[in-house]
Amino acid sequence: MAEDPRDWEVETRAVRGGMARTEYGEISEALFLTQSFAYDSAHAADARFAGDAPGFIYQRFGNPTTQIFEDRLALMEGAEMCRATASGMAAVQVALSGLLRAGDHLVAGRALFGSCRWIVSEWLPRFGVETTYVDATDLEAWQAAVRPNTRAFLVESPANPLLEVTAIGAVAEIAHAAGAKLVVDNVFATPVFQQPLALGCDIVVYSATKHIDGQGRVLGGAILGAAELMTEAYKDILRHTGPALSPFNSWVLLKGLETLDLRVRRQTENAGRVADLIADHRKVRRTIFCGRPDHPQAALIAKQMSGGGNVIAFDLGSREAAWKFLDGLQIVDISNNLGDAKSMATHPSTTTHRSMPEAERLQIGLTEGWVRMSVGLEGPGDLSRDVARALDGA
């Protein structure tokens, strides 16, 4: 009997999932750098446009290389369907627009990446969608925010940058009882450590720019969920508004998926070591890392995540000390990206979360002393030495 890829271990799905070979039998996935496709006859074109015959039409609607990426990520996530987008922000934007109409209401966790926050606070209101922000760790707050016109919930878990974790299953139940869909941004956990669909959410979004590429090359994004909902909510938006992922980027991201599991596990090991060093340092007021038992939601993390991820947040007490730490690094880069093979650290309140009003930053506890660090694949000895030296000088 033929193997069912859905029964494969995740490592096998990451390497072989979605594979569709041409007649040449290539080992590495073919890169179809083509915008459009030719039909054997006018009748064949008609049938394809009518949806009566399978096949590709135009790169904005789909591409064979992109489809391998979509099928592979869907298999890894345990989703019926994945649609790739040009960036993580395109994924968040489409994920919300497909679920909401003028007059609808969104409930969102208040700790959100700056650009996600802009979409929710500035963009959606232009189209008549109102939002209530909640403390995402407080289930009663989610419940209290529900209105008769609530159609969607949005949360990052763990959230950027202070790694707050949300009880995805419980929030999904509140959303469903209200007739709303739950969208989870799973960037920080990665498909390696958390499967939000299995926990009960409806839609998962990724910035594939982060760990899925993981080598600093391309932007990309993905939206995943059940086929019926994905088709109903997103098919037409994706086709007509044009946030398609380029086939070249799809190919790069496919190669990224092959090593995602290995990279993320090693990065997480390195991060555990660096987090312990940071937490023990006299200049550090507080350290948050999902892999440490002193994370305020360690019990919830143990229930819904199978690993802590590679991001650490720590408070050095002032902007001056945080900047001195960053300027003292010799190996780790100062950069706002995350998930990369190269370790990088940033000062969220002046970079990634700069557009968030100060009062809202303070509400989530993001004072100017916080540094966010994404731990990479360098040797753990070199990383520890670099971080310890920069902390000494902070």
Ligand X SMILES: Cc1ncc(COP(=O)(O)O)c(C=O)c1O
The CB-of-235 to ligand X minimum distance in angstroms stands at 22
Among 63, 97, 157, 160, the residue binding ligand X under the rule CB under 6 A is 160
Q: Do 154 and 96 form a contact (C-beta atoms < 8 A)? A: yes
Residues between 184 and 223 with contacts to ligand X, criterion CB under 6 A? 185, 187, 207, 209, 219, 221
Stretch that binds ligand X, among 38-46, 86-94, 132-140, 297-305 (CB under 6 A): 86-94
Residue nearest to ligand X (CB): 88
Smallest gap from Cβ 267 to ligand X, in A, equals: 15
CB atoms within 10 A of CB 41: 8
Please state the closest distance from residue 65 (CB atom) to ligand X, in A.
Answer: 19
Q: Pairing mode, if any, of strands 344-346 and 333-334?
A: parallel
Which tokens belong to 86? Answer: 């040009």
C-alpha distances (whole Å) from 387 to each of 322, 324, 344 are 12, 12, 11
**CA 327 to chain CA centroid, nearest Å:** 28
Candidates 15-23, 109-117, 235-243, 298-306 — which segment interacts with ligand X by CB under 6 A?
109-117
Tell me: does residue 137 bind ligand X (CB under 6 A): no
Query: Does the protein bind ligand X through residue 84 (CB under 6 A)?
Result: no
Nearer to ligand X, 87 or 195 (CB): 87
Dihedral sign of CA atoms 113, 114, 118, 121 in order: positive
Beta strands in the chain (DSSP E): 81-85, 105-109, 130-134, 150-156, 181-185, 203-207, 221-225, 286-289, 311-315, 333-334, 344-346, 370-374
Binding of ligand X at residue 109 (CB under 6 A)?
A: no
Q: Which residue has the tokens 């706002």?
A: 336
Q: Are 270 and 376 in contact (CB under 8 A)?
A: yes
Q: Which of 65, 87, 250, 268 binds ligand X (CB under 6 A)?
A: 87
Q: Is 89 in the site for ligand X (CB under 6 A)?
A: yes
Task: Please list every residue from 276 through 305 that binds ligand X, using CB under 6 A.
Answer: none
Cβ atoms < 10 Å from Cβ of 293: 9
Task: Please identify which residue in 32, 69, 113, 325 interacts with ligand X, judged by CB under 6 A.
Answer: 113
Residues that contact ligand X, how many (by CB under 6 A): 15
Q: Is 156 in the site for ligand X (CB under 6 A)?
A: yes
Name the residue nearer to ligand X (CB basis): 111 or 390.
Answer: 111
Q: What is the DSSP letter of 202?
A: S
| Beta pairing partners, 153 | 107, 182
Give the interface segment with ligand X, choosing from 15-23, 110-118, 131-139, 267-275 (CB under 6 A): 110-118
Q: Which spans of this chain sit near ligand X (rule: CB under 6 A)?
A: 87-89, 92, 113, 115-116, 156, 160, 185, 187, 207, 209, 219, 221
